Amino acid sequence: MTQAMRTLVTGGVKSGKSRHALELAADFAAPRRFLATAVAFDDEMREKIARHRAERADRFDTVEEPLELHERMAERMILDCVPLWLNNVFYYGKEAEFEERLALLVAGLPRDIVIVTNEVGMGFVPADPTSRRYGNLLGIANARLAAAADRVILMVAGIPLRVK
């Protein structure tokens, strides 16, 4: 049995974050849970969700929740992913509730969890105000989650680098 740990896995698009999260969570005792934030808005997203479900197969019980993450959290869980959750906050018109929702998320983190997020602000400053707000809020969420985490891993080209 491994020591309980809150882990934040971050990095760029297609850097191996979700794959690494699955590897880390393989050490969790059953039942293992997977809290998915994605919403199937189009065919591409439906295919991606189906592919990811198949990858997890019978190793994880999947819970789908686009907004109320704090209500669905449990021990031995992967939360994938924070950027899609923030996208849902914007999409459903809940941006004014961001601070409250983030506080509930951080306060409700179980002892054994792997959280997947993205680093979106490492390249350029977006031209439009909505994208800048999104990037700023994701940066705030990442910083608070990293502060609450026992371990932070940055994925670079499929290689995990321990930051904390």
Distance CA 157, CA 12 (A): 8
Tokens 């995990």 map to which residue?
160
Q: How many CA atoms lie within 13 A of 20 on its CB side?
A: 23
Residues involved in catalysis: 52
- DSSP letters for 85-133: HHHHHHHTT-GGGHHHHHHHHHHT--SSEEEE----SSS---SSHHHHH
